[in-house]
Amino acid sequence: MVDSKTTQAVESLAAEIGENIYIDVAKWHLYLSDAHLHTTVAEKVYPLLENDELSEDKVIDILREISVSLGGGRKDVPLLELLPMQCQMNLLDLLEEFQKR
């Protein structure tokens, strides 16, 4: 059974990620909420926050594992490859701030 407090925390984290982190495709910024990826990212990184295991390497590994389907499924690309470096850093900052709260 999932703890409702945990569910609420993941939803809150997902909202922050969705509003602030984007992928860059041909200089278009597609926010993770619009791409329906914010909840996936939040669900995968939340255990790092909960267990006090947050590190850049672990977040990078998670971003590398999340596959983004392009061209109607013709190609899959790791989310890591679609995030500009600044967004990766912003995500880490966001996660650190979220963990402090």
Q: CB-based burial of residue 65 (10 Å sphere; 0-12 exposed, 13-18 middle, 19+ buried)?
A: exposed
Rounded to an integer, the average pLDDT of 48-66 is: 95
- Domain range summary for the chain, segments of one domain joined by +: 4-100
Banded pLDDT at 1 (limits 50, 70, 90): very low
Cα gap 12→81, rounded to integer Å: 25
| The two three-digit tokens of residue 94, written as one number | 């966001």
Decide if pLDDT at 82 tops 50. yes
Banded pLDDT at 4 (limits 50, 70, 90): confident
